[in-house]
Structure 1
Amino acid sequence: MSATAKRIAMWSGPRNLSTAMMYSFAARGDCTVWDEPFYSAYLEYTGMDHPMRDEIIAAHEPDPDVVASICKGPVPGGNAVFYQKHMTLHMIEGFDRRWMRSCTNVFLIRHPARVIASYAKKREGTTLDDVGFVQQSQLFDEVAGWSGKPPVVIDSDDIRAAPEEMLRKLCAAIEVPFTRKMLHWPAGGNEADGVWAPHWYAAVHRSTGFDGVEGPLPKLGGVYAELALQALPYYERLAAFKL
């Protein structure tokens, strides 16, 4: 591993442009990507019933200590950059988080109304824990506490509005060189996709770059509207620090 190798831990909830961002970094040519490293361990330790639960646990590493050791270890493939796409809800209490100090931690955010509208189409009975806003805020505070400064925050809406500008800002903030290769990727998915990709990644598999600006916020009703209101303060708090 190069002495200048960069490990990036990108923290988001689900439906946050997180897979497109992983594809963007994979397209660099100098970057190894890892899709939701702790997903199997999260399901194994919590007993949560997610789509394809048994397949995920069987196909991916369920021991959080093994996952952590890889996250902080040499970059697989000897690349200069190791991009880890993490879900905030997967980093449950009891999982050792010391590995995070070996990474540049970045927080990818998206307005909760958009997240909840998208997530509810894929999995019924959505709860505040499922969408990861509370956990994201807690992890942000934890990183800020031991690093002595707020970690980098980037908003998915801003990326979609101006992909090159925002990726240039992100790369400067995390001290990796920007390349225009990050703006496009082949359709059809990536070999690093988790086994859960068929359930969750249909839209991004059709893409070859970042989609354009989204329209007005979706109108939510009932329990989903209340859920968005509960999540909004956590989103707005991190949005105050965004690039």
Structure 2
Amino acid sequence: MASESPSPAAGDETIRIAMWSGPRNISTAMMRAFENRPDTEVWDEPFYAAWLKVTGIDHPMREEICAAHEADWRKVAERLAGAPPFGSRIFYQKHMTHHMIAEIGRDWMRSCRHAFLIRHPARVLVSYARKRAGPSLSDIGFAEQDELFRVATELCGQIPPVIDADDLLADPQAMLRALCGALKIDFSPAMLAWPAGPRDSDGAWAAHWYDAVHRSTGFQPPAPLPVLEDDGLREVEAEALPLYEQLARHKLTR
């Protein structure tokens, strides 16, 4: 694994929140909630371009993403451990767990408070397959999320908060209050609703992935759990479910 050691400057009072999830996990809605706070700036999937560059994977809008975003993971890590561009008190970082391949260092994580957003794999797979066919376990980041949970626990000396997407959708105010409490920040009612439409903070990939969140103005109640009919999706669900259940043992409650 690569290493690097960016660290916050002495006297730095920035609160950096690294939120870890896989794709299709209401992670962008969670980013909207934090971005709507008056004290917060957000960064959308900082390592996406670096992941594309290192892996060479064929992914939607690959060329546009690499052209628009920093692909040197060391430069990304340095920025993550620094202050947000406009000096806000809270620097919220929306991370995709599957982007954290071995070539990307972890030392910058010491500068952050970590949280983990989980979702039942059946929900993730149904949503993902609508955007990109034939997802594998590595595409949805469940194994990587488990590994990063252990890394964050070791770095921080305590178990980081875990929030289940279904719980959040069922009672946004209670769960956001619980999450903010666990992160040692004040809850803001502004997190419960936001204006529809795109944001300047959205990554270049928004045109492919963010149509639903661009229409949203808040969290919607969860739909019934889908039953997967595709054999390939069921196989991935069977692989992912124990990983989801393992993290769910630590999830916040209302």
For the aligned pair, the TM-score class normalised by the smaller chain equals: over 0.9
- Which secondary structure state, in structure 1, belongs to the residue aligned with residue 98 of structure 2? helix
- Which secondary structure state, in structure 2, belongs to the residue aligned with residue 129 of structure 1? helix
TM-score when normalising by structure 2? 0.93
Deviation at 1:78, TM superposition (A): 0.6
For 2:199 and 2:191, how far apart are their aligned partners in 1?
Answer: 14
1:125 aligns with 2:126: no
Q: Which amino acid aligns with 2:184?
A: E
Q: Which amino acid aligns with 2:172?
A: P
1:153 to 151, 162, 178: 162
For 1:113 and 1:3, how far apart are their aligned partners in 2?
Answer: 41
Please list the CA deviations of residues 1-44 of structure 1 after superposition, one character each: whole Å capped at 9, or x if unmatched: 98432100000000001000000000001111000000000000
In the alignment, which residue of structure 2 is the partner of 1:61? 70
Spell out structure 1 runs of 4+ moving beyond 6 A: none
In the alignment, which residue of structure 1 is the partner of 2:19? 10
Structure 2: which 5+ runs fail to align?
1-8
For 2:110 and 2:223, how far apart are their aligned partners in 1?
Answer: 35
Is this contact kept in 2: 1:160–1:212, CA < 8 A? Answer: yes
Q: Which amino acid aligns with 2:225?
A: P
1:237 to 222, 246, 253: 246
Structure 1: which 5+ runs fail to align?
none
Deviation at 1:223, TM superposition (A): 0.9
Tell me the percent identity: 54
- Which secondary structure state, in structure 1, belongs to the residue aligned with residue 86 of structure 2? helix
1:183 to 192, 207, 217: 192
2:144 to 135, 140, 147: 135
Is this contact kept in 2: 1:117–1:218, CA < 8 A? Answer: no
For 1:116 and 1:210, how far apart are their aligned partners in 2?
Answer: 20
Deviation at 1:152, TM superposition (A): 1.1
Q: Which amino acid aligns with 2:36?
A: A
1:197 aligns with 2:206: yes
5 Å-filtered alignment, 1:80-91, equals 80-91=89-100
For 1:214 and 1:34, how far apart are their aligned partners in 2?
Answer: 28
- Which secondary structure state, in structure 2, belongs to the residue aligned with residue 237 of structure 1? helix
5 Å-filtered alignment, 1:23-62, equals 23-62=32-71
Is this contact kept in 2: 1:113–1:220, CA < 8 A? Answer: no
Deviation at 1:212, TM superposition (A): 1.2
CA root-mean-square deviation: 1.2
Q: Which amino acid aligns with 1:163?
A: P
Please list the CA deviations of residues 192-215 of structure 1 after superposition, one character each: whole Å capped at 9, or x if unmatched: 000110100001100100111221
TM-score when normalising by structure 1? 0.97
Q: Which amino acid aligns with 2:33?
A: S
Q: Which amino acid aligns with 2:49?
A: S
1:20 aligns with 2:5: no
Deviation at 1:145, TM superposition (A): 2.1
Is this contact kept in 2: 1:14–1:87, CA < 8 A? Answer: yes
1:98 aligns with 2:99: no
Is this contact kept in 2: 1:24–1:185, CA < 8 A? Answer: yes
1:114 aligns with 2:133: no
Is this contact kept in 1: 2:134–2:233, CA < 8 A? Answer: no
Deviation at 1:149, TM superposition (A): 1.9
